Amino acid sequence: MPSCRKVSDLCCSILGYAIFTEADTWEELKEAVQDAVRCHFDEKERPAMVWLRLVQEEAVPV
């Protein structure tokens, strides 16, 4: 998964497709994902639902 730019805290890539979006809040990310999927797929090919999975990355000093 590509890393988020430092402009926003949340990002999403859709596995198997060249779809990437990001947002500042979880609600904004859900809306951005919906918009990206609608733009990427024709209406007949569009999935009825997508699943979002939250993955947290953190650098821990050792």
Query: Domain spans of the chain?
Result: 1-57
pLDDT bin (cut points 50, 70, 90) of residue 56 is confident
* pTM of full prediction above 0.75: no
Coil, helix or strand at residue 3: coil
Tell me, what amino acid is at 49? M
Q: Is the dihedral of CA 59, 57, 11, 42 positive or negative?
A: positive
17: pLDDT strictly greater than 90: no
What does each C-alpha distance from 50 to 7, 23, 35 come to in angstroms? 24, 17, 12
Supply the pLDDT for residue 51: 86
The pLDDT tens digits for 28-55 are: 999 999 999 999 999 999 988 888 888 8
Supply the pLDDT for residue 35: 94
20: pLDDT strictly greater than 90: no
Q: What residues does 10 pair with on adjacent strands?
A: 23
